[in-house]
């Protein structure tokens, strides 16, 4: 199939993954041992049971550890902790409660994140996390959680290198398990690429709009993808005009910074096999355009490109861990600004597919850019399924808050797989209705559809997007408005940009597409 490209860079080289973007404690692995000094973290089950490390320190301190726990009311319940300073020869001893159940997967990640968070303000040069398990995978999950939990974005803060605050949270975190240093290979192959991809998505989503715009987004992705077996295609305005991409061009025409359509392709599966397609909304700043937003909290609209950040970061993660699948990420990038050249409410836009829509609100721009992105990836790549990710509507925030992203799907099997992946990864989804009646509320007297005005808001937005996806193709829409930003921290998600979607989609691929490919 012929492929029209503009500003295309294709490369497939096998050199080392770039240095970690994580600027906090370095992570390493060592044999199971209980240091007698320094900063140490251990875990214990409910009832202060099931931990050889706890029992050893308690014996070494002649029962003082158990007495301290009882005096503090600490019984090992899940999520609880006992934080002791200058105890039994330790500068700091952190005892984390794990509850009654054995820890696997996400719970281990949360444990690692809790340790990283607890020592994020510590200047201790080294922290030893002692885990009494013996599996390399368990050690990797602890490291993964620690990497996610210690993330921070402070590149614009004015601090001197010798400031105590600048040194806090730096140094080394050593994960000590029976798997020993051998756990490093599992971490490097399976989870470190995902941790770095989540950090990339968070970085992109946190950057201010004067530092990140469509062209700069493309440049950042090129840098992040360097050395990986990936092919990059970036369409500029003339290329999109030639293809008739009226949706993305209409959104971008009000800004001095031109839009881009970015595709990132990874061919890790069988030759010729249809790829998985992940399509993301990439509005690097959303003022609302002519339908301008209220000034309060408009600053948050720098993160209206989190969907695009998440899908490109997901494919970078798949390439980094050599997943045996074919995948393509599409980022529909534009800045939505008001100006004399901006699109107006009432304008009729013809998209690349030939379908038209009438603009009811220029602030419903996410669905506008996705129309052309969805058409293009279906035409060029013939994917086996499509999942789009977008900070689409305020109404999904009203319904689900920050706890869940909204899932809309026409395919029940795909919806079930995504729900399971969300629960396993900790990036949870809640399935929302997607009814044909929504289409009737989007009818236009002069175009095929209106881009807004229907209700419910999140469902109408999802229906509109779905009209640019072949009805026979499995498709899901994830509305991540709300879940893209954490107003308060969690073990693996510090306050701020969450990078929502990377862990979810990576888990979806692991559980439902890699097993059959091996």
CATH 3.40.220.10 domain position(s) in the chain? 26-184
Of the candidates 494, 457, 496, 497, the one whose C-alpha atom is nearest the C-alpha of residue 479 is: 457
Query: What would the two tokens of residue 274 be?
Result: 């249809």
> CATH class for domain 26-184?
alpha beta
Q: Running DSSP on this structure, what letter comes out for residue 134?
A: -
In the residue annotation, 367 being an active-site residue is answered as: yes
Query: Edge to edge, what strands does the sheet with 26-31 contain?
Result: 26-31, 172-177, 126-130, 38-44, 90-97, 81-87
End-to-end CA distance of the chain: 28
8 Å CB contact between 336 and 282: no
pLDDT of residue 22: 44
pLDDT of residue 161: 59
Query: What would the two tokens of residue 454 be?
Result: 């229907």
Is 281 labelled a binding residue? yes
Q: How far apart are CA 251 and CA 255, in angstroms?
A: 8
pLDDT of residue 517: 57
Q: How far apart are CA 178 and CA 162, in angstroms?
A: 37
- 431: enclosing H helix or E strand: strand 429-431
Residues of the chain with pLDDT under 70: 1-23, 159-167, 516-518
Catalytic residue among 25, 92, 260, 367: 367
Assign residue 346 a region (left: φ > 0; alpha: ψ between -120 and 50; beta: otherwise).
left
CATH 3.40.630.10 domain position(s) in the chain? 8-13+193-514
Query: What would the two tokens of residue 58 be?
Result: 């308690």
In the residue annotation, 260 being an active-site residue is answered as: no
User: Over 258-301, what HEC string results?
Assistant: CCEEEEEEEECCCCCCCCEEEEEEEEEEECCCCCCCCCCCHHHH
Beta bridge partners of 129: 41, 175
Beta strands in 274-393 (DSSP E): 276-286, 326-336, 348-350, 356-358, 385-390
pLDDT of residue 103: 86
Instruction: Tell me which CATH code domain 8-13+193-514 carries.
Output: 3.40.630.10
Who's near 61: CB < 8 A, 6+ residues apart?
A: 87, 88
8 Å CB contact between 407 and 420: no
Who's near 328: CB < 8 A, 6+ residues apart?
A: 263, 264, 265, 266, 275, 276, 277, 278, 315, 377, 381, 383
Who's near 333: CB < 8 A, 6+ residues apart?
A: 214, 217, 218, 259, 260, 261, 262, 282, 283, 284, 305, 308, 369
Catalytic residue among 60, 66, 126, 293: 293
Is 304 labelled a binding residue? yes
What is the gyration radius of the CA atoms in the chain, in angstroms? Answer: 24
Query: What confidence tens digit (pLDDT) does each residue in 10-53 have?
Result: 333 322 333 334 458 999 999 999 999 999 999 999 999 999 99
**10 Å Cβ neighbour count for 417?**
20
């Amino acid at each position: 199939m012929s492929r029209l490209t503009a500003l295309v860079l294709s490369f497939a080289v096998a050199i080392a993954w770039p240095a970690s973007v994580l600027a906090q404690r370095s992570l390493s692995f060592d044999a199971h041992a209980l240091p007698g000094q320094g900063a140490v973290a251990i875990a214990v089950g409910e009832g202060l049971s099931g931990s050889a490390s706890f029992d050893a320190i308690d014996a070494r301190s002649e029962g003082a550890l158990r007495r301290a726990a009882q005096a503090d009311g600490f019984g090992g319940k899940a999520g609880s902790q006992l934080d002791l300073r200058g105890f039994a020869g330790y500068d700091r001893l952190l005892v984390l409660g794990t509850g009654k159940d054995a820890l696997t997967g996400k719970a281990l990640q949360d444990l690692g994140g809790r340790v990283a968070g607890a020592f994020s303000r510590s200047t201790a040069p080294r922290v030893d996390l002692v885990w009494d398990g013996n599996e390399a995978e368990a050690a990797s999950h602890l490291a993964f959680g620690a990497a996610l939990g210690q993330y921070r974005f402070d590149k614009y803060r004015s601090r001197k290198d010798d400031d105590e605050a600048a040194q806090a949270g730096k140094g080394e975190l050593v994960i000590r398990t029976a798997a020993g240093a051998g756990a490093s290979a599992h971490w490097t192959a399976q989870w470190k690429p995902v941790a770095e991809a989540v950090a990339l998505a968070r970085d992109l989503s946190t950057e201010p709009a004067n530092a990140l715009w469509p062209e700069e987004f493309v440049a950042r992705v090129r840098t992040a993808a360097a050395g990986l077996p990936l092919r990059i295609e970036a369409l500029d305005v003339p290329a999109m005009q030639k293809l008739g991409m009226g949706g993305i061009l209409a959104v971008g025409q009000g800004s001095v910074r031109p839009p881009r359509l970015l595709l990132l392709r990874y061919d890790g599966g069988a030759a010729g096999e249809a790829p998985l397609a992940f399509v993301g909304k990439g509005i690097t700043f959303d003022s609302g355009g002519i339908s301008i937003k209220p000034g309060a909290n408009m600053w948050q609209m720098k993160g209206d490109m989190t969907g695009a950040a998440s899908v490109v970061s997901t494919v970078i993660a798949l390439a980094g861990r050599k997943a045996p699948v074919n995948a393509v990420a599409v980022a529909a990038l534009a800045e939505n600004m008001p100006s004399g050249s901006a699109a107006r409410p009432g304008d009729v836009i013809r998209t690349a597919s030939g379908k038209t829509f009438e603009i009811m609100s220029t602030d419903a721009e996410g669905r506008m850019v996705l129309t052309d992105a969805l058409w293009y990836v279906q035409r060029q790549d013939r994917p086996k399924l499509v999942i789009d990710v977008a900070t689409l509507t305020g109404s999904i925030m009203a319904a689900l808050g920050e706890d869940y992203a909204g899932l809309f799907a026409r395919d029940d099997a795909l919806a079930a797989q995504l729900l399971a992946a969300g629960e396993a990864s900790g990036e949870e989804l809640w399935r929302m209705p997607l009814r044909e009646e929504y289409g009737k509320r989007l009818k236009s007297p002069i175009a095929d559809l209106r881009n807004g005005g229907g209700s419910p808001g999140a469902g109408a937005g999802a229906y509109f997007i779905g009209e640019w996806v072949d009805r026979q193709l499995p498709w899901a829409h994830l509305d991540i408005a709300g879940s893209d930003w954490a107003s308060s921290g969690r073990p693996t998600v510090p306050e701020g940009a969450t990078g929502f979607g990377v862990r979810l989609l990576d888990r979806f691929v692991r559980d439902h597409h890699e097993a059959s490919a091996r």
